[in-house]
């Protein structure tokens, strides 16, 4: 191919390459937006479940048991859309399991569960595992969608 031929084809080649780059960037930005929306929804669910759990255990609002269990199932479905959640023992799965155990463990759904004090170990565990779940959701976003703050390996 002569230089003249090459120069003749250069503009359309550059147009196509430019389109590929812009399309790739748009895809990446849209994926990041979707992930941000998903993570925010999951974080909102975690917060709502934690509030209901505290109301259940501290205030004795035992009618919330079904809402708490349904909320945990819904939260898991949201998390399943995130990278590596379904990998057993991934940090996000571990955080979800710890949060679920804190919320629904002990005497959950007992006939007369003991009312816990706001500063009891049970409530402290609920709040700690809630915070760990929120932090893990943010870590997933940071690592997988912003490309910083750690390895993309599921165990980060």
Partner 1 sequence: MTTKHISIAKDFSPFPAGRYVTDGPFPGEAFRDQVLLPALREHGDVTVDLDGTNGYGSSFLEEAFGGLVRKGGYSPADLKIRLHIKSQRQSYEVRIWNYIADAVH
Nearest distance from C-beta of residue 111 to partner 1, angstroms: 5
How far is Cα 50 from Cα 8, in angstroms, rounded to an integer?
64
**Interface with partner 1 includes 93 (CB under 8 A)?**
yes
Sequence-distant (6+) residues with CB within 8 A of 65 are 56, 108, 109
**Interface with partner 1 includes 106 (CB under 8 A)?**
yes
**Interface with partner 1 includes 58 (CB under 8 A)?**
no
**Interface with partner 1 includes 129 (CB under 8 A)?**
no
**Interface with partner 1 includes 108 (CB under 8 A)?**
yes
How far is Cα 22 from Cα 18, in angstroms, rounded to an integer?
6
How far is Cα 59 from Cα 61, in angstroms, rounded to an integer?
6
Q: Where along the sequence are the contacts to partner 1 (CB under 8 A)?
A: 65-66, 69-70, 72-73, 76-77, 86, 88-89, 93, 96-97, 100-101, 103-111
């Amino acid at each position: 191919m002569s230089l003249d031929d090459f120069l003749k084809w250069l503009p359309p080649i550059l147009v196509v390459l430019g389109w590929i780059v812009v399309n790739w960037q748009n895809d990446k930005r849209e994926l990041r937006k979707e992930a941000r929306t998903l993570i925010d929804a999951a974080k909102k669910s975690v917060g709502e479940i934690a509030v209901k759990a505290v109301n259940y255990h501290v205030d004795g609002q035992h009618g919330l048991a079904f809402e708490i269990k349904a909320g945990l199932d819904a939260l898991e479905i949201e998390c399943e859309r995130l990278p590596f959640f379904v990998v057993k023992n991934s940090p996000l799965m571990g955080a979800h399991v710890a949060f679920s155990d804190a919320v629904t463990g002990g005497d959950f759904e007992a006939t007369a569960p003991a009312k816990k004090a706001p500063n009891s170990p049970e409530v402290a565990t609920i709040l700690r595992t809630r915070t760990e779940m929120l932090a893990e959701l943010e870590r997933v976003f940071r690592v997988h969608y912003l490309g910083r703050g750690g390895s993309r390996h599921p165990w980060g």
